[in-house]
Amino acid sequence: MPNHVFDEIKNLVTEARNPASEDIDAKSSEEILHIMNQEDQTVPQVVAREIPYIARAVDLLVETFANGGRLFYVGAGTSGRLGVLDAAECPPTYGTPPTLVQGIIAGGEKALVESQEGSEDRRDNGVKDLLARGVTSKDVVCGIAASFRTPYVLAAIDKAREIGCKTIFVTCNPREEIKLDVDIAICPVVGPEVVMGSTRMKAGTATKLVLNMLTTASMIRSGKVYGNMMIDLMMTSKKLEERSKRTVMMVTGLNYESAVAVLKKADGHVKTALVMALAEVSAEEARKRLKASNGFVRKALAKTE
């Protein structure tokens, strides 16, 4: 007699067979790749249909960050790794503290480099790992599970709601089939995978796109971008150091040497350097203006633009 897990997964879109690849094992390398590529091309359009829900989540995150809250991703396997990746890339890109966006993965750090498949079934660990981060009612918890049924993730979401957090869920199964009490469900239904059940493929791609959109749009709306350039980064590597100089040069029209000089006075902070150069003010005045404008360069320059 099949157990409850069999019954849970047997009708999931993410566990179905894909007609386009049913005989893929008899194909040549190039034919296999064409099938994969054709399927991958459907993903962006599917994500596009979820933009209204993604936008609601972005608005929620902008408000949360402005009020001192944080974002916690919770996932297992590929979903968990994608959450950790997105969280890890926020500090170097947008100058955020590592605590602002955090990734929690079933099985802990070891699961990032070595599969810990059984860990996704441990509901108690989902609760324990969430509580270990000191989650409060000011925070947002985003569950990520392509199948939407992952026990570790569901338990964390249940606990988050109990705490009073706002909740988001990213899954690749249809919204009408999700029996979850969350504030916002984001459901890019990419259909059956080329290899049945291998959700690191289209589902993983869709998830990566959604997470990119969530944090990137939230950071833009939080004043971390001027035009389409990152301006809250710090010069913590050679690449970021040169990107900082180039950004200052492009925005202000300064030459290389002058950009270096103003960045030095700004302690390497691009946003401060831009206000200094464009408004022709001191570093102290630039910081004062930025603080008064909640970090938005355009608002800090309002008196001079």
User: Would residue 3 count as lying in a domain?
Assistant: no
**Is 162 tagged catalytic?**
no
Q: What is the count of structural domains for the chain? A: 2
> What mean pLDDT is predicted for residues 229-249?
88
Query: 256 phi and psi, to 5 degrees?
Result: -60, -50
Task: Out of 15, 89, 241, 285, pick the active-site residue.
Answer: 89
Structural contact between residues 92 and 240, judged by C-beta atoms closer than 8 angstroms: yes
Task: Out of 39, 50, 120, 193, pick the active-site residue.
Answer: 120
Which tens digits make up the pLDDT trace of 61-98? 999 999 999 999 999 999 999 999 999 999 989 989 99
Are 91 and 238 within one domain? no
Structural contact between residues 217 and 280, judged by C-beta atoms closer than 8 angstroms: no
Burial class (CB within 10 angstroms; exposed 0-12, middle 13-18, buried 19+) of 305: exposed
**Is 120 tagged catalytic?**
yes
Structure tokens at 184: 């916002």
Which helix (DSSP H) or strand (DSSP E) does residue 142 occupy?
Answer: strand 140-144
Structural contact between residues 24 and 35, judged by C-beta atoms closer than 8 angstroms: yes
Q: Of 160, 186, 221, which closes a domain?
A: 221
Which residues form the domain of 89?
13-221
Are 234 and 192 within one domain? no
Structural contact between residues 231 and 297, judged by C-beta atoms closer than 8 angstroms: yes
Which tens digits make up the pLDDT trace of 177-212? 877 889 999 999 999 999 998 889 999 999 999 999
Burial class (CB within 10 angstroms; exposed 0-12, middle 13-18, buried 19+) of 82: buried
What's this model's pTM, rounded to 2 decimal places? 0.90
